[in-house]
Amino acid sequence: MFSHMIFYFLLLSSTTHVSTAESQIARAALIDHWNHVGVVHPPPFLLSKVSTLSAWETTYLARLATHNSLSTINFCVMANLTCSLENTGSSVAISFTWYRSHYTNRDNNGRANMVRSGIFFRESELREGNAMYFPDIIDKLPRRLFLPRVVVSKIPFSMSRLDEIVEIFHISKNSTIEHAILNALNDCERSPISGETKRCLATAEDMVDFAVSSLGSRRLVVHTTKINNKSSYSPTVTIKSVKEISQPRESLSCHQVIYPYLLYYCHSFPKVRIYEVNIMDMAASAIAICHEDTSAWSPEHISFVELGPGPGKIEVCHWIYQNEMLWTIDDK
């Protein structure tokens, strides 16, 4: 224990968390991994998400994780993690299952009423000049990075080990971040619905591997929503232009999940269409995905509350939020 603490303090005094050199090393390692698995077009977007921990820090943390000793140091400070959401302005409901709690209210008798959110919409709404409801797709979550694979692979990640997780990250009981962790573990351990392939991924290397195995190709491209930094949210927008960028086929969507380190919920469905939509009001280029086959979806899915009919009777579209990813096979 004492040797751990000495090494820890020496480490903090001799290294910085955000180092250009170390970032370049991590990026080079990720590119090597892409080359190893044979991905033709490595997505630059992922390069901005790699860890900036130094080689010494990574080795030290991996050693502590191996011996279940991460709780003996201030892991959150050392690895620049998000272990509290208090006073950050972040909403714990912003995760893959935001539809559970967002955009509903209750009347005086306690009955749930649906508020048209713009999260879900029909494919026919994607047309030039159309005005439509629009969700706030601007990423407001604390900026986080992936942990190195050698570290995160040794950290427990399951509901059955929740007490260990809380201890490692020094999480306060009944805090916002504890509820976020519970939501994340529930989402990640939930069984997939028919036709869905899903996994929660905490490293860029794991995401590349899962994309290759899910889509059955090494010729991959990543689509992301791009928003002008000066843009402000508007609940209704006008569509400037629409471009279809993928015919009905399988894709892999990766949604940010609130967790101390960067974590994505990735899942694939067959038969989707993908569009690049320029939004006039926000100077944004947003990615929309339309699920052509909803027959396996629950009748209680919030999209049908908003849009009507029900499973298998309509297609359902939704937006890819800022800093989320949509993987497809590159046809070029």
Buried b (16+ CB within 10 A) or exposed e, 174-199: ebbbbebbebbbebbeeeeeeeebbb
The predicted pLDDT at position 142 comes to 85
Distances in whole angstroms, Cα of residue 289 to Cα of each of 25, 65, 218, 243, 250: 34, 39, 21, 12, 11
- Residues 44-87: pLDDT tens digits? 778 888 888 888 899 999 999 999 999 999 999 989 899 988 76
H/E element holding 226?
A: strand 226-227
44 closest CA partner among 63, 58, 30, 64: 30
Residue 319's identity, in one-letter code, is: W
User: Tens digits of per-residue pLDDT, 215-265?
Assistant: 888 888 888 998 876 667 788 899 999 999 876 678 899 999 999 999 999
Q: How far is CA 315 from CA 120, 239, 289, 328, in A?
A: 10, 20, 10, 19
Per-residue pLDDT band at 17 (split at 50, 70, 90): very low
Which two three-digit tokens encode residue 223? 């689509």
The string of pLDDT tens digits covering residues 294-304 is 998 888 888 89
pLDDT score of 64: 96
Q: What percent of the chain has pLDDT over 70?
A: 81
| Amino acid, single-letter form, for residue 279 | I
pLDDT at 320: 93
Domain map (residue ranges) of the chain: 2-329
Tell me what pLDDT residue 139 has. Answer: 84
Categorize the per-residue pLDDT at 313 as very low, low, confident or very high, splitting at 50, 70 and 90. very high
Q: Which residue has the higher pLDDT, 87 or 184?
A: 184
User: Looking at the predicted structure, is the pLDDT value of residue 15 above 60?
Assistant: no
N- to C-terminal Cα separation, the chain: 55
Among 13, 102, 108, residue whose Cα is nearest residue 56? 13
Q: Give the DSSP letter string of 286-298.
A: EEEEEES--TTS-
Q: Per-residue pLDDT for 138 more than 60?
A: yes
Residue 321 in this model has a pLDDT that exceeds 70:
yes
Mean pLDDT for 81-105 is 53
Round to whole Å and give the CA distance between 274 and 245: 6
Closest CA to 273 of 248, 242, 241, 243: 248
- Least confident range of 87-96, 106-115, 119-128, 219-228: 106-115
Q: What per-residue confidence (pLDDT) applies to 241?
A: 96
**Is residue 6 predicted with pLDDT exceeding 50?**
no
With contact defined as beta carbons under 8 Å apart, do 318 and 119 qualify? yes
Residue of 243 and 7 predicted with greater confidence: 243
- pTM for this structure? 0.84
Strands 104-106 and 316-320: unpaired
Calculate the average pLDDT of the chain: 82
- Higher-confidence residue of 100 and 287: namely 287
